[in-house]
């Protein structure tokens, strides 16, 4: 059996707009304020039409920290799932101190998605806007695409396989590689 190709996407800042505070990205407050990146549906459909499995992988540590409810995160994820042609959306609600396998930069969510959908991680991509996204993709053995929005935080080191400045550019890279 030939394994399929997949694309893993971070959620906040990649599939939906992040809120910037002091140059750092944060998730929206709730589903009502969540705005899907303009054009994202069409871009993801272009990948689906080429046979890619599309999976969102998102860290949501505010649940473990008690500053956001699980219901709030579920509502935001459902809004993203209802609007975008995703095959799955995986979420880690742990914080760093939990030392789980699913919190990026660990590759747990990517490995889980790959097993569930029969993906060849070496032929798949991880698209993210933070160093932890790129770390997870690298740890899983995927090709990595860093969306550089010039946040006030460290960039991936070592750098991603590709760096670009929009979801549109990331999709072009995937379709051309």
Catalytic residues: 10, 12
Count of beta carbons in the 10 Å neighbourhood of residue 44: 23
Tokens encoding 119: 């993906």
Q: Is 91 left (phi over 0), alpha (psi -120 to 50) or beta?
A: beta
Closest listed residue to residue 19, CA positions, set 7, 32, 8, 34 = 34
Phi first, then psi: give them for residue 118, nearest 5 degrees.
65, 50
Sign of the C-alpha dihedral computed for residues 4, 157, 173 and 81 taken in this order: positive
Sign of the C-alpha dihedral computed for residues 58, 130, 127 and 78 taken in this order: positive
């Amino acid at each position: 059996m030939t394994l399929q190709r997949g694309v893993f996407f971070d959620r906040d800042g990649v599939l939906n707009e992040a809120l910037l505070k002091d140059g750092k990205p944060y998730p929206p407050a709730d589903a009502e304020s969540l705005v899907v990146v303009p054009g994202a549906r069409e871009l993801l459909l272009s990948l689906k039409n080429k046979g890619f499995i599309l999976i969102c992988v998102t860290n949501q540590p505010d649940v473990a920290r008690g500053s956001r409810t699980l219901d709030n995160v579920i509502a935001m994820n459902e809004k993203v799932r209802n609007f975008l042609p995703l095959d799955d959306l995986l979420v880690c609600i742990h914080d760093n101190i939990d030392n789980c396998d699913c919190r990026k930069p660990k590759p747990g969510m990517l490995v889980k998605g790959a097993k569930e959908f029969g993906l060849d991680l070496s032929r798949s991509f991880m698209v993210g806007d933070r160093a932890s996204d790129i770390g997870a993709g690298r740890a899983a053995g995927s090709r990595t695409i860093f969306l550089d929005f010039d946040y006030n935080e460290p960039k991936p080191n070592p750098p991603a396989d590709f760096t670009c400045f929009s979801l549109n550019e990331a999709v072009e890279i995937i379709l051309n590689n």
